[in-house]
Amino acid sequence: MCGITGFINLTPDKNIDQPLLAQMNQAQYHRGPDDGGEFVDEHVALGHRRLSIIDVSSGHQPMISNDERYVLVFNGEIYNFQEIRAELEQLDHIFKTHSDTEVILNAYAEWGRESVNKLQGMFAYVVWDKQAQSIFVARDRLGIKPLFYTLINETFYFASELKSLKLLPDLDKTIDPKAVEQYFAFGYVAEPKTIYQQVKKLEPGHCLEISVQDNSPCISKYWDVSYAKQIQMTEQEYLTAVVDEFKKAVDSHMMAEVPLGSFLSGGVDSSAVVAMMSQLSDKAVKTCSIGFDVAEYNETEYAQQIAKRYNTDHEERIVASDDFDLLDELAQLYDEPYADSSAMPTYRVCQLAREKVTVCLSGDGADELLAGYRRYNLMMNEEKVRSILPHAIRKPVFGLLGKLYPKLDWAPQFLRAKTTFQSLAMDTAEGYFHGVSILNNSQREQLLSQNVKQQLNGYNALEVFRYHEKNFDGNDPLSLIQYLDIKTYLVGDILTKVDRASMAHSLEVRVPFLDHKFVEWSATVPTEMKIKQGCGKYILKKAMEEYLPDDILYRNKMGFRVPLADWFRGPLKEKLNEALLSEQMISCGLFNMSTIKEWITDHQSGVKEYSAPLWTLLMFASFLKQSETA
């Protein structure tokens, strides 16, 4: 796992700024403290920070091909590199190292841009072709590894983290109003946007090519997950298949020359990873868990069950639920506004894991692939109504009910009919967007300033879903929302959270559920095998009954939660007021400050529940503060 950065001058008369390259590379030191390197020639500058995992003694980057035509910088791991190497050796390629880096380099020399299709793993890499005077950039299929880029004054810049690009003296840091709209809907800025108008993210499953004297990069998609074909098998056949497919994915992800372990939260997904690792290893698996000093947020007793069952080398630590010290650090970590509060415990579990191991496996991705989120069940109930009543009837009837019905924030979920009525008036994608938005359309309308709304010119974050919906090739609503989550929530929230939190501690995290072959297989599993009798992730849970106890498999999902509502009425009350009503928030011109004041007052007095919107605003305020001092 590493950090990559660099630039290519697109005009022949510009000099390479090597001190700038060194600064950009150093900004990502945390991603790879074991080694660093730079390559500079007439047009291109490449930088690399290395966290040594495979072929620790060699594999230095930037790596130059034997004929000196190609130069590569690479972030990630290729799990099938030995098979590709054997194929290349049959084609007379000569290798000097045992690294996956050299395999990518030779694969590109042999097959060009098509070589990306052979790679199984997580990656972002850049190849400089000296003869063609061009670079090729690729990001892995699911977006596990990040890649930011910008084009300024006829120079193309790239980096693993936005903080390296923030060092560019000519970078225009104008905030993109569409990114602001997305952030307050989703809690993150969705690919390909960033918070800055001038910087983009390369989308997952995409590659980019640009040559000297080109005006702009050429971007193309090389992979997508298909839901077009669902395979019909017996339940028993599916139970056997899910174990076989998942075990293969875990096995491939256990390759390392450094200490390797697994997160163990006590939930289904991480416990399944540990169970498979224990089947595949003759040594005790190293596991780590964190718990909270508040019982309702603490899952450590369940993690201990799994650790005892599989005799793992287990490490556990209790952290304070009021872990406020991290609030300001998160803004520095994520570089742009990011509102998932579980980033705090994720940071701490990565910190603990790094004390024991360099590589950790995670259970992320299972909920998106196999329908584990509670919201999927709720959506499927709504779909039953949608299937009975046509949209022409639903829209006026449920739209009116949604307006008339009181919004009961304090009530149990089944009594909160206002949100359900509003959703039923919409189609599947819009209804799902309405359900997952942190701030709904009305709240964002109240929050954003008149100036921002004018710049948006009618743009709504729903367009992110509409953009991806056009590429969906399935024909059932559950598959559609899974596809939307894979394209948005998974990459923008979950994988971003884990990448930044782990890399802050120079820890490599691997996600076997997101092995692209397992992802492709999971897309063929029919809806009735994913959700059955209200049980999400049915086929995975049923298959794991042989390996995990029922109170792990079938208890309510807890997840990494923090008590935001109580914080904002208690220990964080003053900090919230100070941050949200700061000079930066007022002067940025993005917000209607009277709305913010009203939300703070109503929440702190207990009149209404605004913890999620207030946290989202707090993280934006932290971003503004960090940007001003950077």
More confident residue, 14 or 56: 14
β 134-139/121-129 pair status: antiparallel
Q: Output phi, psi for 548, to 5 deg.
A: -135, 145
Structure confidence at residue 57 (pLDDT): 56
* DSSP-assigned letters across all residues of 486-517: HHTHIIIIIIHHHHHHHHTTT-EEE-GGG-HH
- What crossing angle do the helices spanning 477-487 and 462-469 adopt, rounded to 10°? 110
Longest alpha-carbon distance in the chain: 73
Structure confidence at residue 570 (pLDDT): 87
Q: Inform me whether the pLDDT recorded for 456 exceeds 60.
A: yes
Structure confidence at residue 52 (pLDDT): 60
Structure confidence at residue 255 (pLDDT): 87
Structure confidence at residue 381 (pLDDT): 78
What is the average per-residue pLDDT within 69-75?
A: 97
The overall pTM is greater than 0.85: yes
Structure confidence at residue 58 (pLDDT): 62
CB-CB contact of 531 with 538 (8 Å)? yes
Given the structure tokens 């047009």, which residue do they identify? Answer: 43
Structure confidence at residue 629 (pLDDT): 67
Instruction: Among 379-383, 513-517, 588-592, name the one with the lowest average pLDDT.
Output: 379-383
Name residue 454's amino acid: Q
CB-CB contact of 5 with 208 (8 Å)? no
Q: Which CATH architecture has domain 2-172+194-221?
A: 4-Layer Sandwich (3.60)
More confident residue, 194 or 216: 194
Structure confidence at residue 256 (pLDDT): 81
User: 10 Å Cβ neighbour count for 447?
Assistant: 21
Structure confidence at residue 571 (pLDDT): 86
CB-CB contact of 209 with 217 (8 Å)? yes
What CA–CA distances, in Å, run from 149 to 47, 213, 597, 613, 624? 14, 17, 37, 30, 21
Structure confidence at residue 403 (pLDDT): 57
Which long-range contacts does 114-118 make (Cβ < 8 Å, 24+ apart)?
116/207, 116/222, 117/222, 117/223, 118/80, 118/84
What is the average per-residue pLDDT within 193-214?
A: 96
Structure confidence at residue 1 (pLDDT): 58
Q: Inform me whether the pLDDT recorded for 336 exceeds 50.
A: yes
- Encode burial over 449-465: b for 16+ CB neighbours within 10 A, e otherwise: beebbebbeeebbbebb
Structure confidence at residue 416 (pLDDT): 46
Length of the chain: 630
- What crossing angle do the helices spanning 268-280 and 235-252 adopt, rounded to 10°? 70
Structure confidence at residue 519 (pLDDT): 98
Q: Inform me whether the pLDDT recorded for 95 exceeds 80.
A: yes
Residue 74 is inside which H or E element, if any? strand 70-78
Residue 150 is inside which H or E element, if any? strand 148-152
Structure confidence at residue 263 (pLDDT): 96
* DSSP-assigned letters across all residues of 397-435: HHHHHHHHS---TTS-GGG-HHHHHHHHTS-HHHHHHHH
β 148-152/134-139 pair status: unpaired
Q: Rounding to the nearest 10 degrees, give the CA dihedral for residues 372, 374, 379, 381.
A: 110
| 302-316 pLDDT per residue, tens | 999 999 999 999 999
Per cent of the chain over pLDDT 70 is 90
Q: Inform me whether the pLDDT recorded for 387 exceeds 70.
A: no
More confident residue, 406 or 234: 234
**Domain extents in the chain:** 2-172+194-221, 235-371+484-553, 563-630
Structure confidence at residue 620 (pLDDT): 97
Structure confidence at residue 382 (pLDDT): 74
Band of pLDDT at residue 14, cut at 50, 70 and 90: confident
Structure confidence at residue 394 (pLDDT): 46
In angstroms, the CA 292 to CA 300 distance is: 8
Q: Inform me whether the pLDDT recorded for 350 exceeds 60.
A: yes
Band of pLDDT at residue 627, cut at 50, 70 and 90: confident
Tokens representing 516 are: 């692209």
In angstroms, the CA 527 to CA 548 distance is: 23
In angstroms, the CA 530 to CA 553 distance is: 14
In angstroms, the CA 564 to CA 578 distance is: 17
Band of pLDDT at residue 331, cut at 50, 70 and 90: confident
Supply the Cα-derived Rg of the chain in whole angstroms. Answer: 24
Q: Inform me whether the pLDDT recorded for 56 exceeds 70.
A: no
Structure confidence at residue 53 (pLDDT): 60
In angstroms, the CA 590 to CA 103 distance is: 48
360 among known catalytic residues: no
| 520-558 pLDDT per residue, tens | 999 999 999 999 999 999 999 999 999 999 999 998 776
Given the structure tokens 């980019």, which residue do they identify? Answer: 208
| 235-252 pLDDT per residue, tens | 999 999 999 999 999 999
Structure confidence at residue 393 (pLDDT): 53
| 581-615 pLDDT per residue, tens | 999 999 999 999 999 999 999 999 998 999 999 99
Structure confidence at residue 27 (pLDDT): 95
Band of pLDDT at residue 391, cut at 50, 70 and 90: low
Closest by CA to 509, choosing from 296, 334, 197, 253, is 253
More confident residue, 559 or 321: 321
In angstroms, the CA 461 to CA 443 distance is: 13
What is the average per-residue pLDDT within 490-506?
A: 95
Tell me what the pLDDT averaged over the chain comes to.
Answer: 90
What is the average per-residue pLDDT within 492-507?
A: 95
CATH of domain 235-371+484-553: 3.40.50.620
Band of pLDDT at residue 414, cut at 50, 70 and 90: very low
Q: Kindly report the CA angle at 272 between 270 and 273, in degrees rounded to 5?
A: 65
Q: Spell out the alpha helix ranges (H) of 537-610.
A: 538-543, 550-553, 564-569, 573-580, 583-587, 593-604
Per cent of the chain over pLDDT 90 is 75
CB-CB contact of 373 with 493 (8 Å)? no
Q: Inform me whether the pLDDT recorded for 412 exceeds 50.
A: no
| 15-55 pLDDT per residue, tens | 899 999 999 999 998 998 887 899 999 899 999 997 766 55
What CA–CA distances, in Å, run from 166 to 155, 157, 169, 363, 622? 15, 11, 8, 32, 16
Band of pLDDT at residue 408, cut at 50, 70 and 90: very low
CB-CB contact of 370 with 525 (8 Å)? yes
What is the average per-residue pLDDT within 331-342?
A: 92
Q: In angstroms, how far is the first alpha carbon of the chain from the final one?
A: 26
* DSSP-assigned letters across all residues of 250-297: HHHTT--SS-EEEE--SSHHHHHHHHHHHHH-SSPPEEEEEEESSGGG
Structure confidence at residue 159 (pLDDT): 98
Q: Kindly report the CA angle at 267 between 265 and 272, in degrees rounded to 5?
A: 100
Band of pLDDT at residue 410, cut at 50, 70 and 90: very low
The catalytic position among 2, 207, 288, 360 is 2
What is the average per-residue pLDDT within 79-84?
A: 96
- What crossing angle do the helices spanning 268-280 and 300-309 adopt, rounded to 10°? 20
Q: Output phi, psi for 180, to 5 deg.
A: -65, -45
